A and B are shown apart, each in its own frame.
Chain A
Amino acid sequence: MSNNKSVDLSTKNEITWCPGCPNFLLKQAVQKAIEEIVEDGMNELDRKDFVSVVGIGCAPKIYDYLDIPGINGLHGRVLPTCLGVTTGNPNLKVIGFAGDGGTYNEGMGHLIHACRDNADMNMVVHDNQIFALTVGQATSTTEKGVKEKSTPEGVKEKPINPLVIALEAGATFVARLNIFDSESTKKIMKKAITHKGFSFIEALQPCLVFNDHSDDIKKNAYEIKKPKNLKEAIKKAKEWNYGYNKKIPFGIFYQNEIETFEEKRDLLKKFTDKGSGFYSRNRKRKVLGDF
């Protein structure tokens, strides 16, 4: 059922990303994806059913620029906050937005558990391979050897590969976005949002000021065909290890729908079936006498 109504999720808040920041591209594609889902009447979703959950950094500013409900929480804690939101009301479409610093440094433990839990929610990591809002320090996906303010001698460790970690930890939807390709970004986002289970989406979003790899990404990114199985997906994810002058695969690496966190819990399953949540309940119980 289509709403036949054009939806605009822009807000009037002043956008404080740097001029030309690739975050604009990502925001526009994500916004378009949500707008189209609402316009197409997909699952009868309204814009009020979407929730942005963000932490601290440049990426999280998207909270102010999307006209959907949202919670702007703490650095590195987007994932447990998302879990809380969907547990309170499993009918909401929860989308977490955070940077590589928050997700891979401060909050890596949460990522592993989010993959394991498979709650029906989405995590978009704006990976610019740098702490940008704090004006340039290395994160765990910064390329080895790069000199940053807090590592003048150059980063000594190899970057981690979050896609491989997510796949190994049991994520049921894993994708990488090339945000310079707006159409594919929008398409992948729509698939992620409508995927039943945890969607992990990494967006390569270079920082023009502190770590600009825009040209590398534009030159080297290529869209993959979805791998056949988990083993193939991991192999594909290992193809690129966050260094440059190498081909960068993007697209959907893996998708598999299995029982979700919500489906495994009767109470939450009932909410999903009925289209309700804890918000609609007021259980005044009298139980003292039972003990």
Chain B
Amino acid sequence: MRINILIAGKAGQGIKKTADVLSKAFVSEGLYVFNHRSYQSLISGGSNFNVLCVSDKKVNSFDRCYDVAILLDEKSFKVHKKDFSKNCIKLHSFDKDIKGIKLDTEEFKKVENIYFLGALFRILSLESKGLIDEIKSMWKGSKLLEIDLRAVEEGYSKDYGSISDKFDFLKKGKKEKNIYYMTGSDAVGIGAIESGLDIYFAYPMTPSTALLTFLAQNKEKYGYLTYQPESEVAVANASLGSSFSGAKTMIGSAGGGFDLMTETLSMQGMTELPLVAYLAMRGGPSSGAATYTSQQDLKMALGCGHGDFPRVVIAPGDLKECYEKTKEAFYLAEKYGLLNIIVSDKHLAENSYTNHIKNYDLFVKKDRKVPGKNFVKKNSYSHDEKGNYTEDPDIIERVANKRKEKFRKAKKEIESKFKTHEVFGKKTGKKLVIGFGSTKGPILDAINSKKGGKSDYKYIHIIYLEPFSKKLINEIEKADEVFVVENNISGQLADLIQEKTDKKIDENHRILKYNSRPFTPKEIIKRLKNK
């Protein structure tokens, strides 16, 4: 059982904070939350919203079918009307006669969002203490705290009736160990910090900025450096400079910003300096839908940079994987001098949710020749083993073979040591669904639901896109019918699978969504059934 709560209004009305406070209040009760954030590329006004999907069981996604709607402006009512469930409870204060809970005192108009949270807890018959604690923590030291507290109490004190019977699972939260509530960006950041990150260079670009912010805010505490240079080009070149002088270095960007860095990623291929690059995908092509999601840059990650050089491409699908796979990326970068690209997207990078995460013990010490200690030379030109420029065909071939061999060894270790993909659903199922990255949440929730025909499908979530493991190829080739679910218009993952396996995936087996919005489980179920 789940409840989907919409909080909608204009930018600047505190929608994100309201959603965060409410999510944390539920989390503190031992419930699972998926807090989906949808916002426009503007600072105030517009039409923004969050959807909280809450349950006593794991939630990996949200649905556009709202049981409760907190509407902070009238426009939101019009925008979301089509997605209200049959008995959706609307909480609002605008001058319109709609069924629901209407705030009619002027006193709390400015903090109506908080008032509505109180009222919501009352109609759900939940204790208000957890909510009040979270409000205190969120607005600690703020002038607004006093009125916020009065508003939540006033909202909670009114008798608006009860809908608690329908949602009694909200009282069944169990406080478990190792449950974390955060964004994918936070989890990538934690993985980087634990890996011994020395420097993170980045230039802001949605949705990669969240990682820059997270790492910048924690740098003093853990003793590493972040720096935002003049451009993505500077980011990439500075990163190789610092990797050369001995720092564990990471860079990050999105779409166009990542494009700007790719000339230098090719130089990583030539110089073999350890580097982790984070690519957060958004709507495209070009400037695209800046604050919305997509999976259009998979082929870029796999093929970016001129020349032919090895790289590792990893796409985590949830918080746990963001944390663990980032640690693997640092490990592989250091051990093999490889470029490791971590592919995320807006849906994973900016939505907060609950996930089981356990400490993942993986670390490799730096073992590099560095200036100051050694006569080390790194060259973007063809070079001999010492880094001296060469045009000699034998040396060019020999050094290229060395790079190839390095990747072969890395591939062997990845296949034997790390989880390159995960198999869910019916293990012997002949109908196979495949996805990568953030589609993991909605696909999992779809195939695990009754409506999704729990027993029919086998689902493979691919984590390592490059190298593409042998086991994965075998697993895919066993299936009778393959469906590929992805957030782009051409089916980039489907193309990759066609290239790596003997499967042909025609248009009818590509479940594509390219309106810059994430899949929901219901949508996936419907589209699988229609095939």
Taking Cβ atoms with an 8 Å cutoff, the residues of A that contact B are 11, 13, 48-51, 53, 56, 61, 63-64, 67-74, 77, 79-89, 91-92, 109-110, 112-113, 265, 267-268, 277-289, 291
Contacts and interface: CB of A to CB of B under 8 A. Distances in A.
A83 B263 contact: no
Nearest to B375: A69
Interface string B206-228: 00000000000000001111010
A287 B239 contact: no
Contact of A71 (B190, B198, B240, B247): B240
B118 interface: no
A247 to B, nearest CB: 35
Contact of A88 (B182, B198, B224, B264): B198
A86 B182 CA distance: 34
Contacts of B182: 291
Contact of B241 (A11, A13, A53, A113): A53
A268 B380 CA distance: 27
A69 B323 CA distance: 36
A80 B257 CA distance: 16
Given A73-B240, A287-B194, A278 B381 contact: no
A9 to B, nearest CB: 11
16 contacts: A48-B371, A64-B389, A71-B244, A71-B377, A80-B237, A81-B237, A83-B229, A84-B249, A89-B370, A92-B245, A267-B224, A267-B225, A278-B248, A279-B245, A283-B222, A288-B194
B327 to A, nearest CB: 10
Given A64-B389, A73-B267, A278-B199, A49 B238 contact: no
Contacts of B242: 84-85, 87-88, 278
A51 B246 CA distance: 13
A13 B249 CA distance: 32
B275 to A, nearest CB: 11
A210 B226 CA distance: 44
Given A83-B241, A89-B246, A286 B372 contact: no
A88 B357 contact: no
A63 B182 CA distance: 47
A72 B379 contact: yes
Given A69-B374, A279-B366, A288 B381 contact: no
Max chain A Cβ within 10 angstroms of own Cβ: one of B194, B241, B249, B375: B241
Max chain B Cβ within 10 angstroms of own Cβ: one of A64, A71, A112, A289: A71
A81 B267 CA distance: 12
- A-B pairs, top 3 by smallest CB distance, nearest first, are A84-B241, A279-B246, A88-B245
Contacts of B267: 73-74
B237 A92 contact: no
A164 to B, nearest CB: 20
Contacts of A79: 234
A53 B237 CA distance: 11
Interface string B160-198: 000000000000000000001010001000100110111
A84 B377 contact: no
Contacts of A49: 371-372
B373 A279 contact: yes
Interface of B: 180, 182, 186, 190, 193-194, 196-199, 201, 222-225, 227, 229-231, 233-235, 237-249, 263-264, 267, 271, 323, 357, 359, 363, 365-366, 368, 370-381, 383, 387-389
B373 A70 contact: no
A201 B389 CA distance: 26
Max chain A Cβ within 10 angstroms of own Cβ: one of B230, B242, B372, B387: B372
A207 B230 CA distance: 32
Contact of B238 (A81, A281, A283, A291): A81
Nearest to B323: A288
A53 B371 CA distance: 12
A74 B198 contact: no
A160 B35 CA distance: 53
Contacts, number: 198
A80 B387 CA distance: 20
A201 B380 CA distance: 24
A100 B190 CA distance: 42
Contact of B380 (A74, A89, A281): A74
Given A64-B388, A73-B267, A87 B237 contact: no
B231 A109 contact: yes
A284 B363 contact: yes
Given A74-B264, A267-B225, A283-B223, A89 B372 contact: yes
Contacts of A56: 380
Given A92-B372, A286-B194, A291-B190, A278 B245 contact: yes
A67 B373 contact: no
A69 B387 CA distance: 10
A286 B231 contact: no
A88 B180 contact: no
Contact of A87 (B186, B227, B374): B227
A278 B198 CA distance: 7
A244 to B, nearest CB: 34
A92 B374 CA distance: 12
B404 to A, nearest CB: 22
Contact of A277 (B201, B224, B227, B246): B246
B370 A82 contact: no
A91 B246 CA distance: 12
A110 B236 CA distance: 13
Given A89-B371, A283-B196, A278 B241 contact: no
Given A89-B370, A277-B370, A282-B196, 7 more contacts: A77-B264, A283-B223, A285-B193, A285-B196, A288-B194, A288-B359, A291-B180
B376 A69 contact: yes
Contacts of A69: 371-372, 374-377
A101 B189 CA distance: 38
Contacts of B186: 291
Nearest to B359: A288
Nearest to A89: B245
Contact of B225 (A13, A112, A265, A284): A265
B245 A287 contact: no
A133 B373 CA distance: 33
Contacts of B198: 88, 278, 281, 283
B360 to A, nearest CB: 8
B225 A87 contact: yes
A263 to B, nearest CB: 14
